[in-house]
Amino acid sequence: MAELMTRQIPAPYAQQWIQTPDQLVILYEYMHFFRIIPIGAPNRPHGEIAEPTYMGDSIAWWEDDTLVIDTIGLNEWLLDATHGEDGSSRWHSDQMHVVERIRFTDPANASYDVTLNDPGVFEGAWTENWAMERKPNWKILEFICDDNDRCRAGNCVDADVQKSSTQ
């Protein structure tokens, strides 16, 4: 089952971020997900959304030292594989709007703020905050659920490469 796009960044799996002047590519170890995010003018319109996806349609811009990523066009997402016919386990609708703000607090750490707004389900927007730490020696490993799932039932452990890493 696909995970909601915003759950990827604070996940305990390796990520690689590649930035050029006009785009950001984020490669996720978990499920081999990726995002290609065009960087441009602030608050510009999104392109036409042909069909919602699990990672949505993201655009980005810089506000001083903060990278802002704005995402719409997300699939309606179910929290688990078993859900009632009445839709009782839906976590968000296809009206979900996500704004991520990433700012380095020092050379090895960044703050990650994500604001979620879904007028189809929630009464109002809310923001969550996580601290992110660079792990330059981590590598994106092959992800096969049964062979190397390092986060079963919320019990997360580092892979051998992360355990031996000093950073």
pLDDT at 80: 44
pLDDT at 18: 94
Other Cβ atoms less than 10 A from the Cβ of 3: the count is 15
pLDDT at 1: 36
Residues of the chain with confidence (pLDDT) below 70:
1-10, 78-90, 145-167
Q: String of b and e for 115-128 (b: at least 16 CB within 10 Å)?
A: ebbbeeeeeeeeee
pTM: 0.79
pLDDT in tens, 60-102: 999 999 999 999 998 887 544 445 566 555 577 888 899 999 9
pLDDT at 126: 86
What are the structural domain ranges in the chain? 5-164
pLDDT at 96: 87
H or E, element range at 161: helix 160-164
